Amino acid sequence: MERRLGVKLFARNRSGYQPTPAGEELAETARMMDQAALAAERKVAGRDLEPSGEIWLTTTDSLLMGLLAPLLKEFRQQNPAIVLDVAISNQLFNLTRREADVAVRPSNRPPDNLVGRPLNSIGQAVYGHTSLGLKPVTDIRELISQPWVGAGPRLQDAKLEQWMEHHGLKAACVYRVDTLVGILSAIRSGMGVGVLPCYLGDQQPDLVQLSDPIAELEYDLWFLMHPDLRGVVRIHALMDFLTTVIRSQQPALAGLPVTG
């Protein structure tokens, strides 16, 4: 490339290659070309009249297990020409770079560069295994003598950390794990009590809801996509389907009071 352009693009030294000013300028031009190509791909993607083709969807392990799996099955039955490719991650994929088409994510502040639709509010409460013999409480501090399961730092749940610290529960935390499914597994094993989304905890017959839904830990569930995909028929078909069925489950997702 240097011979063809007649300019030096990299300075070579013992530590490796360093771009020259000309190399930096060429790299920036290449980045602009890459972004333009991705934008063109998004704009023409799925300009079909019928819902068909592939949808790349990213979500979390807990949402897929506790909520979305049966809904996606029903969606596929209604739309057999659509193929779903689901990526499980607790990190939001880069929808701008088409790492995924859409995301179903918990968020109280979705990214500004994405568009979407709030699907429902998700309640969270304290749960424990039936073998512990615990009853629902009116004050969380009544459970301070119990071992607690908490969120590991890679889960990045700052609200839960602050809530546990406010109620003096961090010192009682004997086990931390960085996924909600991991927290669920620990609570089901009798490791301790802990906070779970109600859609996850209420499905477990061996768990007891020990508190009312915690207002400070409520969050919104969003369907997110890049703005250029708004006109894609298959994307709208999935968004409309999930909006209808998830909003119909509002009482169960928000959680029901267990104490009076």
Domain covering 124-217 assigned CATH 3.40.50.960 in the classification: no
Least confident of 112-116, 185-189, 208-212: 112-116
pLDDT tier for residue 29 given thresholds of 50, 70 and 90: confident
Q: Is residue 220 within 8 Å of 159, Cβ to Cβ?
A: no
Please give the Cα distance from 247 to 251 (Å, whole number). 9
Q: Is residue 172 within 8 Å of 144, Cβ to Cβ?
A: yes
Q: In the structure encoding, which two tokens stand for residue 132, read together?
A: 């512990």
Whether residue 259 is predicted with pLDDT greater than 90 in this model: the reply is no
Please give the Cα distance from 71 to 95 (Å, whole number). 22
End-to-end Cα separation, the chain, in angstroms = 74
- Dump pLDDT digits (tens) for 218-235: 999 999 998 888 888 999
Please give the Cα distance from 188 to 185 (Å, whole number). 5
| pTM, full prediction | 0.76
In words, the CATH class of domain 53-120+220-254 is alpha beta
Mean pLDDT of 140-147: 93
Average pLDDT, the chain: 87
Domain with CATH 3.40.190.10 in the chain: 53-120+220-254, 124-217
Question: Can you point out the beta strands (E) in 77-156?
Answer: 82-88, 102-106, 115-122, 124-129, 148-151
**Residue bearing the bigger pLDDT, 106 or 97:** 106
The percentage of the chain sitting over the pLDDT mark of 70, rounded to a whole number, equals: 91
pLDDT tier for residue 8 given thresholds of 50, 70 and 90: confident
* 169: nearest Cα among 189, 133, 193: 193
